[in-house]
Amino acid sequence: MGKARLRILLVEDSAPVCNALCELLGEIEGLEVSAITDGAMQARAAITRIRPDVIVLDLVLAEGSGLDVLRSEEWKDNRPFTVVFSGDCTGGIRTACKRLGASAVLDKASEFHLLQAVLRDLI
Report domain extents, the chain. Answer: 6-120
Q: What is the model's pLDDT at position 1? A: 45
The string of pLDDT tens digits covering residues 37-51 is: 999 999 999 999 999
CA-based angle 109:27:86, to the nearest 5? 25
Q: What is the model's pLDDT at position 3? A: 65
- Mean per-residue pLDDT of the chain: 91
Range of lowest pLDDT (24-33, 41-50, 74-83)? 74-83
Decide if pLDDT at 76 tops 90: no
Q: What is the model's pLDDT at position 75? A: 72
Q: What is the model's pLDDT at position 43? A: 96
Range of lowest pLDDT (9-13, 67-71, 87-91, 109-113)? 87-91
**HSE of 58, CA atoms in CB hemisphere, 13 A:** 22
In contact, 56 and 85? CB cutoff 8 Å: yes
Q: What is the model's pLDDT at position 37? A: 97
CATH architecture of 6-120: 3-Layer(aba) Sandwich (3.40)
Residues of the chain with pLDDT > 90, as a percent, come to 76
Cα distances (angstroms) measured from residue 17 to each of 6, 13, 21, 26, 42: 21, 8, 6, 14, 18
pTM: 0.93
